[in-house]
């Protein structure tokens, strides 16, 4: 497993490291020897220099070795100087990497804060992230950051041979790092730097994962390097703040589990006659789900028990088109859309301090009215003359797009929202052409326009608490007063795609699941009632 941070921290001090010595070298990736014995490699080098006031400085460079037409090492990137005897000698290196990643992030096509307006990260929060975690834990985060910066250098700013080596020999064996399941520091970092920098960072990770997954699908020798959890790539984290439990999740579409599809696998067409289909699939592969689930909770203290209540405050889902084009309505025409959302919250598994769970009712559901007019023409007496009497009959049928339910499993309360076709009543997330039920794809064409559309104009979705119905509650033992419990919160999101403005037979539904823990402080006066 790649461990760049440990190598950096173990660089020799000034007494052991002379400027005339060969610079220490870390081989990031190398190819197999060619018939003539030569190899190609991507290297990280550290060079010592003397600054003013006898400071000892170190500069890092990323170099290419053995790539035609370069006979000598070719420098791709040079870091700012790091004062090796300062309290945090490599903080400038980390800040530089992070700022360069954020400045080059995809826009998502709906950015209200252009990258040019984002200020550089302040040293304080990043320094705190370094101090608050062990070197072993922080090492995984630094490896993630460095791999992300190398993506732009090797896959975008270098010859194709360099990109191929990067994907096969560097990113491939370390793709687990990009799944973020082994990076606990990432949560602390995202909370510390703010939501604008968070979106830029996570969209870069999503874009990089999308490229990786596309290469795996088209078949360039990467299939054997596919991680076992590649159908659930992405990242989520939860936290408690000011009476809210908040779960945030990010998932590139190709990293979500495929549940329904017109093909067994998401494969890119190779026939020349299928050029339009390739363009469609390529665009769909660069989309990422960005979710925010926000629960409001209160704690009440009574004689003999504690009452914990919660309700859905907001569920916000956005499908970002990761790219670098100028925002345009056409960008949203072919986009995945949410078709089901399942949220659950409750005490940790095996908790014995919960006496009971009380559910609210499901909502009456948002509905729209459709008017049908029927005109009856006739005469009061037999006549060959034109009709003299006209009667208009009107019926109104209420039809729904979304259905919200509440349920319980053990002590966990479940909020479930399902999208239905309002013409046939068929659930969208489970629909297949062979199951019948009419042409649902036709019914959902032009789904991002019109006053009665079920989504935002950009293909996303926002639910407020009044749409999810009443809250739920738990009665807890009075003995738990004064403690801080661990409460679990999770969610599943289904995304579907049907052709919107293009002619294609392709459709699919994918699913991602997240789960995390949040604090529940049972302390009188803290967000209580």
pLDDT in tens, 419-451: 988 777 788 898 876 554 556 666 677 787 777
Residues 472, 464, 323, CA angle at the centre, nearest 5°? 125
**Can you give the pLDDT at residue 384?**
64
Residues 6+ apart with CB under 8 A from 277: 269, 504, 506
474 touches 352 (CB < 8 A): no
Given a cut of 60, whether residue 144 has pLDDT beyond it is yes
Strand partners, 275: none
Question: What six digits make up the tokens of 402?
Answer: 């979304």
**Can you give the pLDDT at residue 109?**
59
pTM for the structure as a whole: 0.86
**Can you give the pLDDT at residue 158?**
86
Given a cut of 50, whether residue 329 has pLDDT beyond it is no
CA distance 480 to 477: 6
Q: For residues 390-398, give the mean pLDDT.
A: 56
Given a cut of 60, whether residue 400 has pLDDT beyond it is yes
207 touches 178 (CB < 8 A): no
Strand partners, 235: 250
**Of 16-25, 178-187, 226-235, 481-490, minimum mean pLDDT range:** 226-235
- Domain layout of the chain by residue ranges: 1-228, 231-366+400-529, 367-396
Given a cut of 70, whether residue 465 has pLDDT beyond it is yes
The mean pLDDT value of the chain amounts to 82
CA distance 172 to 181: 16
Q: Averaging pLDDT over each range in 22-36, 70-84, 200-214, 383-397, which range is the top one? A: 200-214
Percent with pLDDT over 90 in the chain: 43
Neighbour count for residue 440 (Cβ, 10 Å): 21
Cα four-point dihedral sign 195, 200, 201, 206: positive
pLDDT: is 518 or 113 the higher one?
Answer: 518
**Can you give the pLDDT at residue 513?**
94
**Can you give the pLDDT at residue 171?**
87
**Can you give the pLDDT at residue 354?**
92
Given a cut of 50, whether residue 129 has pLDDT beyond it is yes
Given a cut of 80, whether residue 55 has pLDDT beyond it is no
Q: How confident is the model at residue 328 (pLDDT cuts 50, 70, 90)?
A: very low
For the stretch 221-271, pLDDT in tens is: 444 444 444 456 789 999 998 899 999 999 999 999 999 888 755 555 555
**Can you give the pLDDT at residue 520?**
94
- Cα Rg, the chain, nearest whole Å: 28
**Can you give the pLDDT at residue 430?**
87
H-type alpha helices, 155-292:
160-165, 175-178, 184-193, 195-218, 275-284
Q: For residues 483-489, give the mean pLDDT.
A: 95
Residues 6+ apart with CB under 8 A from 518: 238, 239, 240, 245, 247, 486, 487, 488, 489
Strand partners, 405: 416
Question: What six digits make up the tokens of 163?
Answer: 């990109």
Q: For residues 461-480, give the mean pLDDT.
A: 87
Place of tokens 């101090």: 131
CA distance 127 to 125: 5
Q: How confident is the model at residue 108 (pLDDT cuts 50, 70, 90)?
A: low
Residues 66, 70, 73, CA angle at the centre, nearest 5°? 65
For the stretch 150-172, pLDDT in tens is: 999 998 888 888 998 999 888 88
Q: How confident is the model at residue 146 (pLDDT cuts 50, 70, 90)?
A: very high
Q: For residues 267-294, give the mean pLDDT.
A: 80
* Cα–Cα distance list, 24 to 19, 59, 147, 318, 442 (Å): 11, 11, 20, 45, 62
**Of 131-140, 301-310, 330-339, 482-491, minimum mean pLDDT range:** 330-339
Q: For residues 41-46, give the mean pLDDT.
A: 93
pLDDT: is 307 or 369 the higher one?
Answer: 307
**Of 84-88, 174-178, 189-193, 241-245, minimum mean pLDDT range:** 174-178
């Amino acid at each position: 497993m790649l461990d760049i941070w440990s190598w950096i921290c173990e660089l020799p001090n000034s007494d052991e490291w002379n400027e005339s010595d060969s610079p220490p070298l870390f081989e990031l990736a190398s190819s197999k020897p060619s018939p003539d014995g030569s190899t190609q490699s991507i290297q990280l080098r550290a060079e010592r220099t003397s600054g003013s006031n006898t400071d000892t400085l170190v500069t890092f460079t990323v170099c290419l070795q053995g790539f035609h037409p370069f006979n000598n090492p070719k420098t791709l990137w040079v870091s700012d100087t790091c004062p090796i005897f300062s309290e945090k000698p490599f903080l400038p290196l980390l800040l530089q990497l992070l700022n360069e990643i954020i400045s080059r992030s995809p826009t998502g096509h709906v950015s209200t804060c252009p990258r040019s307006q984002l200020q550089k990260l302040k040293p304080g929060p990043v320094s705190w992230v370094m101090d608050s975690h062990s070197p072993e834990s922080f090492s995984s985060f630094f490896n993630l950051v460095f791999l992300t910066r190398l993506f732009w250098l090797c896959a975008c700013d270098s010859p194709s041979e360099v990109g191929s080596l990067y994907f096969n020999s560097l990113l491939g064996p370390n793709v687990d790092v990009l799944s973020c399941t082994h990076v606990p520091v990432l949560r602390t970092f995202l909370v510390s730097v703010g939501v604008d920098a968070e979106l830029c960072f996570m969209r870069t990770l999503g874009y990089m994962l999308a490229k990786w997954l596309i290469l795996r699908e088209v078949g360039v020798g990467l299939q054997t390097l596919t991680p076992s959890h590649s159908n659930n790539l992405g990242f989520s984290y939860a936290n408690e703040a000011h009476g809210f439990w908040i779960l945030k999740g990010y998932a590139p579409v190709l990293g979500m589990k495929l549940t329904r599809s017109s093909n067994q696998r998401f494969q890119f067409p190779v026939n020349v006659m299928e050029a339009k289909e390739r363009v469609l699939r390529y665009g769909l592969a660069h989309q990422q789900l960005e979710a925010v689930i926000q629960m409001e909770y209160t704690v009440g203290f009574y004689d003999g028990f504690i009452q914990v209540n919660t309700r859905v405050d907001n569920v916000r889902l956005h499908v970002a088109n990761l790219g670098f084009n100028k925002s345009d309505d056409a960008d949203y025409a072919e986009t995945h859309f949410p078709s089901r959302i399942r949220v659950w919250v409750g005490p940790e598994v095996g908790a014995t301090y919960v006496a009971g769970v009380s559910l609210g009712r499901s909502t009456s559901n948002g509905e729209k009215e459709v008017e049908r007019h029927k005109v009856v023409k006739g005469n009061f007496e037999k006549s060959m003359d034109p009709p003299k009497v006209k009667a208009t009959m009107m019926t109104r049928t209420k039809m729904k797009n979304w259905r919200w339910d509440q349920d319980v499993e053990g002590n966990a309360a479940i909020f479930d929202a399902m999208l239905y076709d309002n013409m046939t009543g068929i659930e969208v997330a489970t629909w297949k052409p062979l199951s019948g039920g009419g042409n649902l794809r036709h019914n959902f064409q032009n789904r991002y326009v019109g006053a009665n559309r079920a989504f935002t104009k950009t293909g996303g979705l926002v639910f407020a608490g009044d749409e999810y119905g009443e809250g739920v509650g738990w009665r807890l033992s009075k003995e738990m007063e004064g403690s801080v419990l661990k409460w679990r919160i999770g969610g599943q999101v289904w995304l579907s795609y049907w052709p919107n403005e293009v002619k294609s037979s392709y459709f699919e539904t994918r699913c991602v699941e997240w789960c995390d823990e949040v604090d529940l402080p049972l302390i009188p006066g803290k967000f209580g009632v």
